[in-house]
Amino acid sequence: AQKITQTQPGMFVQEKEAVTLDCTYDTSDPSYGLFWYKQPSSGEMIFLIYQGSYDQQNATEGRYSLNFQKARKSANLVISASQLGDSAMYFCAMRSIQGAQKLVFGQGTRLTINP
């Protein structure tokens, strides 16, 4: 079974600072993908970034980067130069790469950016 753990229920950060959202995972699958989604107050789920378990490089997408440490089973999201619009719920998720496997979500971290 797969499990995602996000230990930070809430984070408060000053605008323009960088922020790291923690995510650890557990799986017995040899091949898997790790994902981060953003859920603003409007409720939609917005895909941010993806990391494959065999990718050698850490994924980056604009201001988002994923600090992937496979031996530690961690996949932390780093947001550089935070903006007020980054205030939202952030979910870490994973799925096996084999077949149509479901996405398993963590509990989420509510990020608040202060002006």
Partner 1 sequence: EPEVTQTPSHQVTQMGQEVILRCVPISNHLYFYWYRQILGQKVEFLVSFYNNEISEKSEIFDDQFSVERPDGSNFTLKIRSTKLEDSAMYFCASTVNQGELFFGSGTQLSVL
Residues near partner 1, by CB under 8 A: 33, 35, 37, 43-45, 47, 50, 91, 93, 95, 97, 99-108
CB of 23 to partner 1, least distance (A): 13
In 3D space, the residue among 68, 77, 90, 106 whose CA is nearest the CA of residue 10 turns out to be: 90
Between 81 and 97, whose beta carbon lies closer to partner 1? 97
Between 50 and 64, whose beta carbon lies closer to partner 1? 50
Q: Given the DSSP bridges, would you call strands 109-114 and 10-14 parallel, antiparallel or unpaired?
A: parallel
CB of 95 to partner 1, least distance (A): 8
Task: Say which residues have a Cβ less than 8 Å from residue 64's Cβ, sequence separation at least 6.
Answer: 36, 48, 49, 77, 78, 79
Residue 7 has phi, psi (to 5 degrees) of -90, -5
CB of 14 to partner 1, least distance (A): 25
Between 14 and 98, whose beta carbon lies closer to partner 1? 98
